[in-house]
Amino acid sequence: MTKFLVISENVYSNWQINEKFFIDTAKKIFKFYLTQPVIREHSCLSLYEYNTISFDILYCDSKKTHEINREYRDKDYPADIITFAIFADSDEKFVFDGEINLGEIIIALDKIIEEADKKQTTKEHELAFLISHGILHLLGFDHQTEEDYNFVVELQNRALEYVKI
């Protein structure tokens, strides 16, 4: 049985999210993804043995994601989500004591609030949607084509149905 370690930190003062709820939600989404054959077969985990998966989630504002985008990605705009998939993107993947650290998901909560208002959905739904998106990136899935984008969004929607959000 795989153990999941999700560390989160909220540095955005305008929305004190229930971090335990979203950590539990992230773990459920991850478990759902691992039940999907396409993910098991094509993710960055497919060739490795492990007993623990870990990753971090940082909740911040779009000012911070803009800063991170400029400094680390040479992009001059704020993002709703940035994912550093250190395991999936590394040429030298390593498993330490049976644990794989997948990386970090950084989410701008002010962007979540804006998007939820625009889509007329709850902030919690929009946040869970982006967490599910970030997890797919950590697993090595991207969306450079319309077909890949549709595949990713379909998986996200199925994951949210699974966790009943």
- pLDDT tens for 24-74 read 999 999 999 999 999 999 999 999 999 999 999 999 999 999 999 999 999
Residue 49 phi/psi, 5° resolution? -100, 140
| Superfamily of structural domain 3-162 | Metalloproteases ("zincins"), catalytic domain (3.40.390.30)
Q: Which residues have a Cβ under 8 Å from the Cβ of 94 and sit 6 or more positions away?
A: none
**Out of 5-14, 113-122, 126-135, 141-150, least confident range:** 141-150
Please report, for the chain, the start and end positions of each structural domain, with discontinuous segments joined by +.
3-162
Roughly what angle, to the nearest 10 degrees, separates helices 19-35 and 146-162?
A: 120
Q: Is the pTM of this model over 0.75?
A: yes
**Which pLDDT score is estimated for 144?**
83
Would you place residue 148 in the very low, low, confident or very high pLDDT band (cuts 50, 70, 90)? Answer: confident
Give how far the C-alpha of residue 17 lies from the chain's centroid of Cα atoms, to the nearest Å: 16
Query: CB neighbours of 153 closer than 8 A, spacing ≥ 6?
Result: none
